[in-house]
Amino acid sequence: MKIWRSLSLLMLLIGSLIFGAGPAAAMTQLNVTSVDYQQCPAELSEGAVTSGGSSRPASCYLVVGTINNPSNKTVYDVDIYGRIYDANGDSVMQNRTRLGEVESVPPGDHPFEIRISVPASQPAPLQLKQFKASGFSATVRTQLLEESSESRF
């Protein structure tokens, strides 16, 4: 039994050396500052509805802010997280803190903008809290999509 286990581990090691394991993409935490919101321009807010469909009208807002990449390398597939509450302190994004994504963030400060729809029944002003962002040292989502399409029969 030990021989088979050792042999299978050796085969696995040889296989990974021959075919190569993909490079690891390290997660990088980014700072999010100057977070605010504004009403969407008319062309963006026309026909805004919530996930409940046309029977649930919504208010359209743009969440804006600055992402700071303190590293000396571009960070990819950056997810932006935060909590948004209405004037009564009720969450406007139930069970959801991931608000959007930015494809890449070079070193330094960079503005971002995310469109959100808030049920019209939830009163403004909105409260924006606990914003943060994280991404990877290499593109991850594209690689995953390419790998999954290659593995199809």
116 contacts 63 by C-beta, under 8 angstroms: yes
pLDDT band at 56 (very low <50, low <70, confident <90, very high): confident
What does DSSP assign to residue 50? E
Note whether residue 146 is domain-resident.
no
Note whether residue 66 is domain-resident.
yes
The pTM of this model reads 0.70
Note whether residue 149 is domain-resident.
no
| Cα Dmax for the chain | 70
Note whether residue 69 is domain-resident.
yes
Express each pLDDT in 4-55 by its tens digit: 555 555 555 455 445 444 555 688 999 999 999 999 998 876 655 555 555 6
- Report the domain count for the chain: 1
Express each pLDDT in 86-125 by its tens digit: 999 999 988 889 999 999 999 999 999 999 999 999 999 9
Spatial neighbors of 138 by CB under 8 A, at least 6 apart, are: 23, 25, 76
Question: How far are the Cα atoms of 31, 126, 143 from residue 89, in angstroms, in the given order?
Answer: 24, 9, 40
Note whether residue 93 is domain-resident.
yes
Note whether residue 103 is domain-resident.
yes
30: Cα separation from own chain's centroid = 12
Note whether residue 126 is domain-resident.
yes
Question: How far are the Cα atoms of 14, 15, 54, 71, 127 from residue 24, in angstroms, in the given order?
Answer: 19, 17, 44, 17, 37
Domain that holds residue 68: 25-136
In the block, residue with structure tokens 């509805």 = 49
CATH number of the domain to which 92 belongs: 2.60.40
Note whether residue 19 is domain-resident.
no
Q: C-alpha angle 44/49/53, rounded to 5°?
A: 145
65: Cα separation from own chain's centroid = 15
